Amino acid sequence: MTTATAAATIDEARLEAFVGQAVLGIGAAISRLLHIGHRLGRYKAMAGAGPITSSVLALRRIPHRRGRRLGGARLL
């Protein structure tokens, strides 16, 4: 009994285009997350604190301007 396996051919141009789009998407997502963290004051709250857990960071929240306009409601 013989088993025939077809060798898969990879289109290098399509693969390169796919990887390029994936890297672009990941970069855009990281950029947006950094921007959101900056706008919400997360990095100021973590500055000089050393290793910090998300629970401790939640206790050190800095109210966002929009939250103050909404009567002090916290956004995250």
- Please state the domain extents for the chain: 15-69
CA angle 54, 57, 60 (to 5 degrees): 160
Q: Give yes or no for a contact between 72 and 63, defined as CB atoms under 8 angstroms apart.
A: yes
The count of other CB atoms within 10 Å of the CB of residue 46 is 15
Q: What is the pLDDT of residue 47?
A: 86
CA angle 17, 22, 24 (to 5 degrees): 95
Q: What is the pLDDT of residue 54?
A: 83
pTM of the model: 0.57
- Residue 50: pLDDT band (50, 70, 90) is confident
Q: Is the pLDDT of residue 5 over 60?
A: yes
- Whole-angstrom distance, CA of residue 17 vs CA of residue 23: 10
Q: What is the pLDDT of residue 44?
A: 85
User: Which amino acid does the sequence have at 67?
Assistant: G
Q: How far is CA 11 from the centre of its chain?
A: 30
